[in-house]
């Protein structure tokens, strides 16, 4: 022990991170399995070259061009035409965006709530911003329990409410009317963040929480380029909210937090948004087939609208996880005990997973 004066809650914690061994079939962190097409790579190289030529200068602190491109993209994707660049904020992954939100609206003596199971970083944002974390549970079958959520809001008086929809790890969407009820209940008291990291995978016709933005100045909707957009390596997440809320995020961000290289890379990908997103329908179809195949094997599978499914139940999920890994397939042990989460990969990866799982079952029986 070095005697470093570390905060006790940090000393007691492990750094976050899924195991990341180099195996042939990686279905553990909900990436898009398809790399960017060559035209996009060329577009990135061109834009990054221009940015590199001015790399002696600090980048545009307010990333004006990127905010415009993100506003246009969201307006099209969610069919919300009145999203303007001053309603957009971005950072290095939606993780950083949400941390910044917590820096503004959480803090010592304040409480944030969520609805578990939920994305496992939420308690860490709270810890890192000295915010008290008081989650409540979802209902049976992981469905969102509105009555319980409203009671938790009354009881805990949070200043931040975090809701991932589609939810990680179940993939379940919270219906827009439920989000609306939460927005009504929190108005004037808390910020409601709807984390739509997997939003683009929702069923066509399902409305995004972005539809509610114009009505609620305390609503923020975060998205990421890491998932459907097939850009996890770039680290670009963003959020849409009323301009006043965005103004406070500008106050806490570190100067020049988005590098010129990141801005250029994201802009290049947004030039080709159609191409970057072209595999979504295929991934959605494969998710359905994966869920049916797991169902046919006798598993219970969540009705996911993301690029993964949660399946169970296992008496010893770790035994299955380990045996899959031994066959070169990595999935994720996350969420409630008894369940495992698997991302939708390519056709070959998905089949390899299903074959390895069948073999695992035979071995464990």
Residues that bind ligand PMP (CB under 6 A): 30, 93-95, 119, 164, 168, 195, 197, 224, 226, 232, 237
Report the SS3 class of residue 247: helix
Angle at 172 between CA 170 and CA 177, to 5 degrees: 150
Could you identify the residue written with the tokens 């106050």?
A: 251
Closer residue to ligand PMP, CB minimum distance, 303 or 351: 303
Structure tokens at 224: 């990421």
Cβ atoms of 301 and 291 closer than 8 Å: yes
Closer residue to ligand PMP, CB minimum distance, 198 or 272: 198
Distance (Å, whole) CA 53 – CA 31? 31
Cα 13 to chain centroid distance, Å, stands at 22
Closer residue to ligand PMP, CB minimum distance, 97 or 354: 97
Position with the least CB separation from ligand PMP: 93
Closer residue to ligand PMP, CB minimum distance, 105 or 119: 119
In angstroms, give the least distance from the CB of 261 to ligand PMP: 17
Please give the radius of gyration of the chain, using alpha carbons only, rounded to the nearest integer: 21
In angstroms, give the least distance from the CB of 64 to ligand PMP: 21
Cβ atoms of 168 and 197 closer than 8 Å: yes
In angstroms, give the least distance from the CB of 201 to ligand PMP: 12
Q: Which of 363, 350, 351, 352 is nearest to 316 (CA)?
A: 363
In angstroms, give the least distance from the CB of 226 to ligand PMP: 3
Closer residue to ligand PMP, CB minimum distance, 41 or 232: 232
Q: Which of 71, 37, 34 is nearest to 223 (CA)?
A: 71
Closer residue to ligand PMP, CB minimum distance, 224 or 279: 224
Closer residue to ligand PMP, CB minimum distance, 168 or 186: 168
In angstroms, give the least distance from the CB of 53 to ligand PMP: 28
Q: What are phi and psi of 316, to 5 degrees?
A: -135, 85
In angstroms, give the least distance from the CB of 164 to ligand PMP: 4
Structure tokens at 307: 């690029």
Provide the 10 A C-beta neighbour count for residue 358.
Answer: 12
In angstroms, give the least distance from the CB of 119 to ligand PMP: 4
Cβ atoms of 184 and 157 closer than 8 Å: no
Strands 329-330 and 25-26: parallel
Structure tokens at 62: 């307010």
Closer residue to ligand PMP, CB minimum distance, 308 or 327: 308
**DSSP type of residue 131:** -
In angstroms, give the least distance from the CB of 165 to ligand PMP: 9
């Amino acid at each position: 022990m070095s005697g470093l004066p570390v905060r006790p809650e940090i000393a007691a914690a492990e750094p976050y991170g899924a195991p990341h061994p180099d195996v042939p079939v990686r279905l553990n962190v909900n990436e898009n399995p398809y790399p960017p097409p060559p035209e996009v790579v060329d577009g990135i190289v061109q834009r990054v070259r221009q940015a590199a030529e001015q790399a002696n200068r600090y980048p545009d602190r307010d990333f004006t061009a990127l905010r415009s491109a993100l506003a246009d993209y969201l307006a099209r994707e969610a069919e919300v035409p009145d999203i303007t660049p001053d309603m957009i904020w971005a950072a290095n992954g939606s993780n950083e965006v949400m941390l910044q939100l917590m820096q503004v609206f959480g803090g010592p003596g304040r409480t944030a709530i969520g609805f578990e199971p939920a994305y496992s970083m939420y308690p860490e944002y709270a810890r890192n911003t000295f915010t008290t974390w008081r989650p409540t549970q979802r209902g049976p079958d992981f469905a969102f329990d509105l009555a319980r959520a409203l009671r938790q809001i009354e009881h805990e008086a949070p200043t931040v409410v975090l809701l991932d929809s589609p939810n990680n790890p179940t993939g379940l969407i919270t219906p827009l009317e439920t989000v609306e009820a939460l927005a009504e209940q929190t108005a004037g008291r808390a910020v409601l963040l709807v984390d739509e990291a997997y939003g683009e995978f929702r069923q066509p016709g399902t409305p995004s929480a972005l539809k509610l933005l114009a009505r609620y100045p305390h609503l923020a909707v975060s998205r990421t380029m890491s998932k459907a957009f097939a850009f996890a390596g770039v680290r670009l997440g963003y959020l849409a909210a009323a301009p006043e809320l965005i103004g406070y995020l500008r106050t806490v961000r570190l100067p020049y937090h988005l590098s010129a290289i990141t801005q250029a890379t994201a802009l290049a990908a947004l030039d080709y948004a159609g191409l970057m997103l072209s595999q979504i329908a295929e991934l959605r179809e494969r998710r359905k087939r994966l869920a049916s195949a797991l169902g046919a094997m006798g598993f219970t599978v969540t009705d996911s609208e993301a690029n993964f499914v949660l399946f169970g139940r296992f008496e010893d999920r770790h035994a299955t996880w380990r045996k899959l890994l031994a066959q070169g397939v990595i999935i994720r042990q996350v969420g409630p005990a008894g369940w495992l989460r698997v991302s939708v990969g390519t056709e070959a990866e998905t089949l390899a997973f299903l074959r390895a799982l069948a073999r695992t079952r035979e071995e464990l029986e």
